[in-house]
Structure 1
């Protein structure tokens, strides 16, 4: 009798334990919240001035180039300044070549022309999609005296799906830099 009760109890336990409740996974998206951008005018002894996001740390070099670091986002915008000395064609070709070196890893490179004729600032903005090393680049010039380039890089191996929100945020800062640039 005891054996029958144990066998019956074992069958009940085994039958009850085989049932697995299936729960669907909820849909989720990565959400990164960045602070609303607040800009301050950055003025220096260089031949240009720009507006910078308050969350950025600026590292300026003596040649008027700079690194604009965003430690909380783990990315940087690198700005390079060069004087134009009858070499505008070469500077333009170098800036475009730098952008199109990312073609091998990029899914797409979209370009937007930038013109601010009132301030004599002309250039191009490139948005790079895909797993390229740089997600955005730009150049600005007055075609006579000044030439500025900017490139966006992250401190990690590029994985576009993961860095997209941060890239989008920093691209807006790059556009603000372009719009605020004034020659001295």
Structure 2
């Protein structure tokens, strides 16, 4: 009887150990990579904005807050913030009058290009897209900055005589290119729309 109990105990133990070995065998554990939420945004609906600045433009209805103010400067200048609370981002626009001064235009162009080039330290790539609308006298450059940078897109436009406008996109979070990419792509289209719809007053 004792021998029978011992053999039953031994048999159960062997089965338990065998099952444990079978279950534990298999592929090595590999930690899952970080995942980011797939974000789908509503189709953009644009409307004309007429605020007390020297140009008109169109912006997305998703931009629920538009703030602007006159900047303290000798020449006419304005700061405009187009805020997207749901995307946690803002497009900052700065307008400066040129008043026919070619030296001032050269200085503004140099500053705008320098601002983009400052991102080359952390940027993976900076594709540049020229823009021109002869009918409305709007000429400029759109720059997409790829990588973990503070501002993933910038642009500037001018009529080369009276007006100069520069824009940049910022998010309210630490830059992580993979996580902000869907929102950045969405807002870059809005920035392009601003460029394409500018009408100087």
Measured in 2, the distance between the counterparts of 1:19 and 1:53 equals: 59
1:69-116 Cα distance to aligned partner (Å, 9 max, x none)? 111111111000111141111011011111111010011111111101
Name the structure 2 match of 1:100.
Answer: 117
Structure 2 spans left out of the alignment, 5+ residues? 72-77
Q: Normalising by structure 1, report the TM-score.
A: 0.92
Task: Measure the CA separation in 2 of the matches of 1:171 and 1:89.
Answer: 26
Tell me whether 135-144 or 16-25 shows the greater mean CA deviation.
16-25
Does 2:69 correspond to 1:61?
yes
For residues 66-77 of structure 1, the aligned pairs below 5 Å read: 66-77=80-91
Q: Can you list the C-alpha shifts for 1:113-161, whole angstroms capped at 9, x where unaligned? A: 1101101111111111111211110001111111100001111111112
**TM-score by structure 2 length?**
0.84
Please list, as runs of the form range in 1=range in 2, the aligned pairs for 1:28-177 lying within 5 A after superposition: 30-56=37-63, 57-63=65-71, 64-85=78-99, 86=101, 87-177=104-194
Is there any run of 5+ residues in structure 1 with no aligned partner, and where? none
Corresponding position of 2:10: 7
CA contact (8 A) 2:36 2:179 kept: no
> How many residues of Structure 1 are paired with residues of Structure 2 in the alignment?
184
**Offset at residue 31 of structure 1 (A):** 2.0
Cα shift at 1:22:
5.7
CA offsets, 1:36-61, max 9 Å, x none?
10111100121011111101121222
CA RMSD of aligned residues (A): 2.2
Output the CA distance in 2 between the equivalents of 1:84 and 1:41: 24
Shift of 1:16: 1.4
